[in-house]
Each structure stands twice: as structure tokens, then as C-alpha cells.
Amino acid sequence: MNDTEKTYRFEDQRDTVYKVNPEHPETATLPLQRTEELLLNMGPQHPSTHGVLKVILELEGERLVKSTPVMGYLHRGVEKLAEDGTYHQFIPHTDRLDYVCAMYNNFAYCRAVEKLMNIAVPERAEYLRTIVAEVQRIIGHQFWLGTQALDIGAMTVFFYTFRDREILLDWFDELCGARLTTSWYRIGGVERDLTPSLIAKLRAFLDYFPPKIDEYQVFLEKNRIWLARTKGVAVISAEDALSFGLSGPTLRGSGVDYDLRKYEAYAAYPRCDFNVPVGKNGDTYDRYWIRVMELYESVKIVKQCLDQMQEGPIMASVPSVTLPPKDRVFTNLDSMIQQFKLFSQGFDAPPGEIYCGTEAHKGELGFYIVSTGGGKPYRMKIRSPSFIHMGAFDHMSRGYMIADAVTIFGTYDIVMGECDR
Amino acid sequence: MHALAERIKREFPDGFVDAVEWRGDLAVTVRPAALHAVAGFLRHDPEIDCDYMVHVSSVDWPDAEERFEVVWEVASIRKRHRVRLKTRVSEAECQVDSLTDVWHGANFMEREVYDMMGIRFRNHPDLRRILMPDDYTEGYPLRKDFPLQGKGWRDTFEFLNEKA
């Protein structure tokens, strides 16, 4: 499985005629009769931008000399909205950040508020959070793999990954009633427990899925077009990647072993045995390879969590902050009043400021919350990996062809809802 | 005091303002004049080695004399620590040094701070609006005196005012 040699065996067949870059030595230009600068607007409506994003490409022949991302088409002022609502009220807003993987946004946000309020989450809730987060990681990487292959021209993979993604989305539907905008995490725990039916379905999926990952790879690993368009494209060195603030698979592709799941060891991750795949060339292919390997690792994590999980409460018992159990809300007046007050007035947060980052499938999703006391955050900054990855776009695209711009959006796994907030 | 804050205080006795450690996060406030030097020190000192740019943010305190607070959070992957570097600037001046030459990632994140809060960055290579439209004239949306509903630009969209 971790056989790197196997995946690199096509190295010598690499098509190097048009690829020059490594760290753009100013783009070994073909002899051109250049009379004027050519600017090309790519987007805002372009199928490969996965949303609404424009990039102004400055061209030398077909090579990119400079690219300027123009963002903000999906800016909704989420950070401003956060200042106007209570902490509980903001959870559904986080779904709309990275709408492909809403669970991760919920998770990152709840973790940040728990750090602010200094709440410990019960053990079973930690396991449930880890399971659902890893299922979300599988969904995210399936989505990424399908669309990235589609952008590059390998259409078939898309159907296979989306077929399997559908199973998990239906699973989410049964878990929380929504496929995409889930809002399942709560401050201090989770909204509801896994039912036996859900556990059975998940276990069945875990047996079904690993052979399917092999299947995805069969389409791509020996596909010469895929290899030619991913190997040696968008190379970034480890030092630059760190300086740009890249994170997640985009950073690990450059050989930096930085994963908050290991680094901060939150939720049930310290009790699970898993590897963090790390690339070595820092190119699009390595980032692809890491994501595929992470699919295997996520399956491992979910299996271990299901085995280790014990019965117990799923919500911390801090009545001034956490929500009362739903069945009590419907039958008990005090609980109903408590729930109403928590949502409408919020809880009293201590003055102070925290930053809490969580490893989402795209990278480090962080929330910086400044509180001055009271029920609403004074300032909330969302550190979204997509936005920060776009900052490196110009650096990573210089010297490559126009068509490679498409693969570079893809390699960040960009979602504009999160990028523009 | 945290050892890292201690070092910064020793190296920059004039620039250091204060250091707060809360919930395990270290935040060091420095004077704007010393900001760039402190950032370079955090980045290049082999003991501190903060090579990873986490985020750049800003906070508006309308009642304070030094109204705006700019926040850079950086981390060291090898040494396993994080530090939040902060500086305060008044509304009249409203300008701090850019740290883009220290961490590349500061480029887009500082542009966002400029766009949202109107704080200008000295020596920034490309200080333009990033999320709001280039021709947006209503000001800076994340300032506390900016109303949640905007300042009326939205009402000029015809399709919003059409009767169904």
C-alpha cells in the first residue's frame, strides 16, 4: 500500500519537453516574436475553478509569466455576521464555508469555542467526532479526486468516486437529516448518537471501500496523460510552502510532516494508530498520492474508533454553555428555557482571545476568536486554507502552460465558499 | 513569563510592550516601530525558527486611543511552538510595516486586513482590495462603526426592490 516505488515507476517516461519550472528560473522561454503582452481572463465562470474565481493570466506564448487571482465573488461577510450572533447560532453559518465538507467546519468551530470556554468533551463524543470527521475526509478526497481527474480529462474516475461518495452522503442524511449542510457538531459534544443501523452501514462501507480505492488508482496510476499533467507540475519547495502558510496535503506534498491530528493530538486521534503520508517532490502528483493514501488511513481510523468506542454521554455537562438533551427539551420546562436562552442570548464567554486550528482535509482550518465577555464574539477571524493556498498560486504557476493552471486550482482542492467567506 | 516572550523582551527592550499567555496561546505585543525587526528575529533566530505563517488578522477597538490591532500568528514546525505577534496603531496613522518579505503568505492575508479594516501596510508589494470589489467606496466592512446591513449600496440593486 505504501509502496512509493511502485507509484513512481513511470518517472523516466516523464514528458519533459514543455515542463521547465522547478522554482521558476525565469521560465526558460521558447524563442518568441513578442510584440505585446497578452492578458487572458480565466473565469469567473470556468468549470475548473469550482465556484466563481477569476485569474488574470499574463502570457508569453502559452506559458504563464504571471497570474493574478481575483477573488471575492462569493464573499458573504461571514466574519461580520459572526459578530452579530451568539456562539451557538454561528454553527449553521460554518456549514456554508466549505460547503463540500461541512462537518469539518463545524468541528473546527466547536473546537475553537471549547478552547475559549475551556470545556472538555466526553470520551464517546470525541470518538463520534473523529469518526464523522474521517468519514468527511473520505468524502472530501473522493470529491477532490473525481473533479481533479475530470479537469485533467480523465472523466471515468468521477463516476466511480461519486458513486461511493453517494453512499456516505446518504449515511450523513440518516445521521443528521442533511447531506451537505450538516450542523451536527455542537459546542461540547455532538447533536445525536450513532444508531445501530448507522454503525452497521458504516462497517459495511469500510469493508466495501478499500478495494474501490485501488480501483480509482488503476484509472490514474498508469494513465500517461494523468502522469504527464501531474508529475513535475506546480512544484513548491518545503521552505516556500511553509512561508506561504500552505497546510494539509498541499504542504505534506513538499515533504513537511505537519499534521495537526498528530501535532496537537486532539479528539480521539491520539488513541488511534495511523500514518501521515508525506510526499517528496512537492508536485501535483505527490499531493494526489497523499490524498489517496489518506483514504486508506481514514478507513483505518474509523475502524479503530468503532472498535474502541464505549457507551457514554455525547455532550459535556456544563449547563451554562452546552445544550440540554433534546428529549428533555420537549418534556421539561427548565430544559426548554435553558435551550431558548442559550440560543437567543448565548452564554457568557470570558474575555480573552484564542486561536484553534483543526486539520481539515484541505489543510489547517482555524478560528481566531476575540471575546470581550458576553454572548457574542467580539471578532472572529476564519483562517481558511483555500484562501491561503490561493496566495501561492502565482508562485506555483509561473513558467507552466495555461492548461496547467487548471490542475493547480485542483491541487489545492479549492472551494470558493471557504476562500471568500 | 513564557521563555519566548522573555527572549523577545531581552532582544527588544524598547519595542516590547507586553506578553499574555492564555489558554496555552502566547500573544506578544510590540511597538509598530520594532515590528519588522521582531518578525525578522522570530523568523531567523535558530532557537525560535518560526517558519510557518498561520494567519494575519486585525481587531478594531473604537474606544481605544490606538484603535487598530494587527495580529500575525506564526509557528515553528520544528520547534513546535506558536506565537501571536501583535501591534497597535492609531486611526490617524493607520499604517504598519508589511511582513511580506519575512513570510510570503503575509501578502494575501495583509491584503485582506487592508480590505476589511483599512489598515495600510508599508512596503507591501500589491496593496489592493481582495474580497470586496475594486471600486467599492463604502469603507471597510469589519470596522465596528460599519453597520451590519452595509451603507446602502445593496439597496441600489434593482432586483432586490422588485415587487413580486
pLDDT, position A27 = 58
Label residue A354 by pLDDT band (50, 70, 90).
Answer: very high
pLDDT of residue A28: 58
User: Is the pLDDT score of A337 beyond 50?
Assistant: yes
Degrees (nearest 5) of the Cα angle B115, B29, B100? 45
Which residues of chain B neighbour A118 with C-beta distances below 8 Å? Answer: 23
| Residues A414/A97, Cβ–Cβ less than 8 Å | no
pLDDT value of position A12: 37
- The shortest CB-CB distance from A72 to any of B25, B103, B130 is to B130
Give the lowest-confidence range in A49-58, A61-70, A401-410, B153-162. B153-162
Q: Do A391 and B59 touch (CB under 8 A)?
A: no
SS3 B84: strand
Beta-carbon separation of A245 and B109 below 8 A: yes
Residue A408 is assigned to a structural domain of this protein: no
Task: Compute, in degrees rounded to 10, the torsion defined by CA atoms A173, A176, A182, A186.
Answer: -160
The pLDDT mean for chain A works out to 85
- DSSP H or E stretch at residue A173: helix A156-176
Residues 6+ apart with CB under 8 A from A341: none
In a domain, A416, yes or no: no
| Nearest chain B CA: its distance from A151 CA (Å) | 26
- Do the chains contact at A355 and B84, CB–CB below 8 Å? yes
Given a cut of 50, whether residue A341 has pLDDT beyond it is yes
| Burial of A133: CB neighbours in 10 Å, binned 0-12, 13-18, 19+ | buried
Whether A355 and B148 lie within 8 Å, measured CB to CB: no
The answer to whether B87 contacts chain A (CB < 8 Å) is no
> Residue B157 and residue B148: Cα distance in Å, rounded?
17
User: What pLDDT score was predicted for residue B133?
Assistant: 85
Chain A nearest-CA distance from B87, in A, is 15
- Angle formed by the axes of helices A196-221 and A156-176, nearest 10°: 170
**Residue A243, domain member (yes or no):** yes
Q: What are the pLDDT digits (tens) for B144-161?
A: 888 888 787 777 777 776
- pLDDT category at A216 given cuts 50, 70, 90 is confident
Q: Of A270, A74, A49, A299, whose CA–CA distance to A150 is shortest?
A: A49
With an 8 Å Cβ cutoff, are A383 and B108 in contact?
no
Contact of A418 with chain B, judged by CB distance below 8 Å, is answered with no
Asked whether residue A330 carries a pLDDT value surpassing 70, the answer given is: yes
- Cβ distance of A378 and B59 shorter than 8 Å: yes
| CATH code for the domain defined by B3-161 | 3.30.460.80
On chain A, the residues whose CB falls within 8 A of the CB of B105 are 243-246, 388, 391-392
Q: What is the pLDDT of residue A296?
A: 92
pLDDT tens column, A307-319: 988 888 888 888 8
Q: Which of A240, A245, A420 sits opposite B54 (nearest CB)?
A: A245
* Cβ pair B141:A258 closer than 8 A: no
Interface A-B: count of C-beta contacts within 8 A = 101
In chain B, positions 13-52, which contact chain A (CB-CB < 8 Å)?
A: 22-23, 25, 27, 51-52
Measured CA to CA in angstroms, residue A4 lies from A193, A222, A286, B83 at distances of 39, 14, 10, 36
The pLDDT value given to residue A16: 41
Residue type (1 letter), A365: L
- Runs of H (alpha helix) within chain B: 3-11, 32-44, 106-117, 158-161
Measured distance CA(A50)–CA(A55) in Å, rounded = 13
**pLDDT at residue A34, as a whole number:** 58
pLDDT surpassing 50 at residue A419:
yes
In a domain, A108, yes or no: yes
Confidence tier at A166 by pLDDT (50, 70, 90): very high
Residue-wise pLDDT tens digits, B96-133: 999 898 898 889 999 999 998 889 898 888 888 888 88
pLDDT digits (tens, 9 = 90+) for A356-410: 999 998 889 999 999 998 888 999 999 999 899 988 888 888 888 888 888 888 8
| Start-end of H helices in A345-401 | 385-390, 393-397
Q: Where in the sequence is the domain holding A370, given as residue range(s)?
A: 78-390
Candidates B53, B57, B148; nearest CB to A243: B53
Q: Write down the pLDDT at residue A381.
A: 92
User: What is the total count of domains within chain A?
Assistant: 1
CB contact under 8 A, A391 and B109: yes
Pair A81, B148: CB distance under 8 Å: yes
Q: What is the pTM of this model?
A: 0.87
User: Mean pLDDT throughout A49-76?
Assistant: 84
d(CA A253, CA A389): 13
pLDDT of A19: 60
Segment B40-96, tens digit of pLDDT: 988 888 888 888 889 999 999 988 888 899 999 999 888 888 899 999 998 888 889
Provide the Cα torsion B125, B130, B134, B136; round to 10°.
Answer: -130
* pLDDT band, very low/low/confident/very high, at A203 (cuts 50, 70, 90): very high
What pLDDT, on a 0 to 100 scale, did the predictor assign at position A9?
A: 34
The residues spanned by each domain of chain B are 3-161
- What's A375's domain CATH number? 1.10.645.10
Q: What is the DSSP string of A51-96?
A: SB-EEEEEEETTEEEEEEEE--TT---HHHHHTTS-TGGGHHHHHT
Angstrom distance (rounded) from CA A126 to CA A310: 11
Q: CB-CB: which of A115, A366, A420 is closest to B131?
A: A420
| pLDDT score, position A1 | 41
Whole-number Å distance between alpha carbons of A51 and A39: 22
Residue A334: predicted pLDDT: 87
* Inter-chain CB proximity B51 and A355 less than 8 Å: no
The secondary structure of residue B105, as a DSSP letter, is: T
User: What is the structure's pLDDT at A208?
Assistant: 92
Q: Cβ contact (<8 Å) for A243 and B104? A: yes
Q: Would you tell me which residues 367-406 of chain A have a C-beta closer than 8 angstroms to some C-beta of chain B?
A: 368, 370, 378-379, 381, 383, 387-388, 390-392, 395
Q: Could you report the per-residue pLDDT of A91-142, keeping only the tens digit for each? A: 999 988 888 888 989 999 999 999 998 898 999 999 999 999 999 999 999 9
CB B132 within 8 Å of CB A73: no
- Closest to B146 in 3D by CA, of B132, B156, B158: B132
